[in-house]
């Protein structure tokens, strides 16, 4: 099966839309609705689609959150300060005291950035220009000259790399990898929701078809019963039939009328259920008239091919495989956390010469960019938890989760294989049932026709004719039920094989 692209909207590859046709006097007739039109309308209006879209978008947002752990992080600070201080000193015992007062001014600005990398490295950059000078007086005299040059600055860059614990993408990006697989699983879950909705809509559509045709059968049965009653009444009037036979015919007519009442209620309930699925919030039509009927087609695959297709195409299996892959990634990350911590780091420190006011920051930045006064540091950091029970417990949990996913996947494969087999056999049995029911209905029609001729010639009884009518009604109901069962079995098979959307010419975007 070709994998379908997923986007927020739904593009349906057909345009058979249900329409209301106005009558000549302006009144509206019931909406003519095909099966494909019902599916399209359901996909456009059903609230379950909107819920599935929001659920998918929520999961996709989780991927963006995890990607944020590897974003650049920019920091900066600016401070202005003024500090006043004083001192009194005595150069020798008994000598005069000298006093001094100083006032220091400074402006400090820092600009830094950090970046974590998926392979376990981390980069930190820091740029810090400064402006600082001091002025003061001694024994109330004039201000002293500058005691420090006002402009200075530094630049540092540090890179650290995990060598054991936290090394490699499987360990560092485990949450990101799982989030990415979760986003893929959300797309599959969205497809699964669409598949379930299509299958549900088809089932509701065929329920309406059954109820409508069942009502027609009951109306035909009533017509036959009424015809028999009229003929019996005529025969009683001419004296060729006992009056008691009229009572039996009247009872049969009453039973047929009762069947029609039940069939009408069933049809109304089936239509309401379909309308509820197609128009949950929009304007609903006055009525629906399904136009499609079940068609019997030979299967173009065997049971073994059905199993193979199901195992290759089913959304549930694809989701389960993604879940297992996520659990394997988490187990690998948990195994990594049991290792000792060993980090290597290298630092570059660039300093600038203090500059007089006339030179300003340009001279400082010139020293920093040229690396006039460089400094370097390299080293290793090592840490070893003595018992490390937290990491070992997490490792045991991750291993158990991975094994659980493996067994769940295997169990799901067995279940889907069984479902595909049963769906295939149900279609075969339903097709045979339709053929058998059709033959039975034909034979019942001929049997009733023969019994009516015998009754007209005085060679049969009213009771036998009514019995044959009942047999024909039962045969029609069985034939109709077998056709609807076949239609639903086809839907179940296509869903079990995992290509229901392709069979309905639907493309989900």
Who contacts 325 (Cβ-Cβ below 8 Å, separation ≥6)?
181
For residues 229 and 465, what is the distance between their CA atoms, to the nearest angstrom? 11
Walk along the chain (509 residues) and give the pLDDT tens digit of each residue. 333 333 333 333 333 334 444 444 444 566 788 898 888 888 888 787 888 889 889 988 998 998 898 999 999 999 999 888 888 777 777 777 777 888 888 889 999 999 999 999 999 999 999 988 888 777 767 666 555 678 889 999 999 999 999 998 889 999 999 999 999 999 999 999 999 999 999 999 999 999 999 999 999 999 999 988 898 888 888 887 788 888 888 899 999 999 999 999 999 999 999 988 888 776 677 777 888 888 888 878 888 999 999 999 999 999 999 999 999 999 999 999 999 999 999 999 999 888 877 777 888 889 888 988 999 999 999 999 888 999 999 999 999 999 999 999 999 999 999 999 999 999 999 999 999 999 999 999 999 999 889 888 888 888 888 898 999 999 999 999 999 999 999 999 999 999 898 888 887 76
CA geometry: angle 141, 145, 150, nearest 5 deg: 140
Predicted confidence at residue 146, as pLDDT, reads 55
Q: SS3 helix, strand, coil % of the chain, rounded to 5?
A: 55, 20, 20
pLDDT in tens, 287-341: 778 888 888 888 788 889 999 999 999 999 999 999 999 999 999 999 999 999 9
- b (16+ CB within 10 A) / e for 226-256: eebbebbeebbeeeebeeebbebbeebbebb
Q: What is the pLDDT of residue 6?
A: 35
Q: Which two tokens stand for residue 307?
A: 């199993």
The rounded distance, in Å, linking the Cα atoms of 44 and 198 is 12
Q: Where are the beta strands (DSSP E) in 117-239?
A: 121-138, 151-162
What mean pLDDT value characterizes the chain? 86
Please report the pLDDT score of residue 97 as a whole number: 74
Predicted pLDDT of residue 3? 38
How confident is the model at residue 398, as a pLDDT?
95
Instruction: Give the position of tokens 């570059």.
Output: 348
Query: pLDDT tens digit string along 21-39?
Result: 444 444 456 678 889 888 8
Structure tokens at 106: 């400074």
The predicted pLDDT at position 1 comes to: 35
Q: 222 φ, ψ to 5°?
A: -65, -40
What residue has token string 């911590």? 341
DSSP-based three-state secondary structure for 164: coil
- Could you tell me the pTM of the whole model? 0.78
Q: What is the pLDDT of residues 355-389, one digit of tens each?
A: 877 777 888 889 888 988 999 999 999 999 888 99
What is the separation, in whole angstroms, between the first and last Cα of the chain? 16
Distance CA(295)–CA(198), nearest Å, equals 18
Asked if 138 and 98 touch (Cβ cutoff 8 Å), the reply is yes
Distance CA 461, CA 242 (A): 11
The reported pLDDT for the residue numbered 9 is 37
For CA atoms 244, 245, 250, 252, the dihedral sign is positive
Q: What is the reported pLDDT for 473?
A: 92
Reduced to 3 states (helix: H, G, I; strand: E, B; else coil), residue 81 is: strand
Q: Say if residues 479 and 434 touch (Cβ distance below 8 Å).
A: yes
Cα dist from 1 to 221, 353, 418, 502, whole Å: 47, 70, 20, 8
Helix or strand (DSSP H, E) at 297:
none
């Amino acid at each position: 099966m070709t994998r379908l692209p997923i986007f927020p909207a739904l593009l349906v590859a057909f345009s058979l839309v249900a329409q209301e046709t106005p009558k000549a006097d302006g009144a509206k007739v019931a909406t003519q609705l095909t099966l494909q039109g019902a599916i399209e309308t359901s996909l456009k209006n059903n609230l379950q689609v909107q819920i599935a879209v929001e659920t998918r978008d929520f999961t996709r947002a989780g991927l963006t959150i995890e990607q944020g752990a590897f974003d650049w992080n920019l920091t900066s600070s600016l401070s202005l300060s003024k500090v006043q201080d004083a001192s009194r000193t005595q150069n020798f015992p008994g000598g005069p005291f000298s006093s001094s007062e100083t006032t220091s001014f400074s402006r400090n600005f820092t600009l830094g950035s950090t970046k974590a990398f998926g392979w376990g490295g981390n980069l930190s950059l820091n740029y810090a220009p400064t402006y600082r000078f001091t002025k003061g007086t001694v024994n109330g005299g004039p201000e002293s000259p500058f005691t420090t040059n006002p402009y200075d600055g530094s630049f540092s860059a540090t890179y650290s790399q995990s060598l054991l614990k936290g090394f490699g993408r499987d360990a560092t990006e485990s949450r990101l990898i799982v989030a990415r697989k979760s986003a893929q699983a959300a797309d599959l879950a969205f497809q699964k929701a669409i598949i379930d909705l299509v299958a549900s809509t088809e089932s509701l559509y065929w329920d309406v078809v059954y109820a409508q045709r069942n009502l027609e059968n009951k109306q035909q049965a009533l017509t036959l019963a009424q015809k028999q009653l009229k003929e019996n009444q005529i025969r009683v009037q001419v004296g060729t039939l006992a009056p008691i036979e009229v009572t039996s015919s009247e009872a049969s007519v009453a039973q047929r009328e009762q069947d029609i009442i039940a069939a009408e209620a069933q049809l109304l309930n089936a239509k309401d259920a379909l309308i509820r699925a197609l128009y949950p919030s929009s304007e609903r039509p006055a009525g629906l008239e399904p136009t499609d009927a079940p068609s019997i087609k030979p299967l173009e695959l065997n049971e073994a091919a059905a199993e193979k297709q199901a195992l290759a195409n089913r959304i549930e299996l694809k989701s389960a495989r993604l879940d297992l892959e996520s659990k394997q990634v988490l187990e690998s990350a948990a195994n990594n956390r049991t290792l000792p911590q060993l980090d290597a780091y290298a630092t570059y420190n660039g300093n600038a010469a203090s500059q007089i006011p006339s030179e300003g920051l340009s001279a400082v930045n010139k020293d920093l960019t040229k690396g006039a006064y460089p400094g370097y540091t390299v080293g290793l950091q090592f840490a070893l938890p003595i018992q490390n029970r937290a990491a070992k417990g997490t490792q045991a949990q991750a291993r158990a989760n991975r094994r659980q996913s493996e067994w769940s996947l295997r169990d799901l494969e067995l279940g889907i294989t069984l479902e595909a087999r049963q769906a295939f056999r149900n279609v075969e049995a339903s097709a045979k049932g339709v053929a058998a029911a059709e033959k039975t209905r034909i034979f019942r029609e001929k049997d009733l026709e023969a019994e009516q001729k015998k009754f007209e010639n005085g060679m049969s009884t009213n009771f036998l004719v009514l019995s044959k009518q009942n047999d024909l009604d039962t045969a029609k109901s069985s034939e109709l039920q077998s056709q609807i069962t076949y239609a639903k079995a086809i839907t179940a098979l296509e869903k079990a094989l995992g290509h229901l959307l392709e069979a309905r010419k639907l493309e989900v975007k």
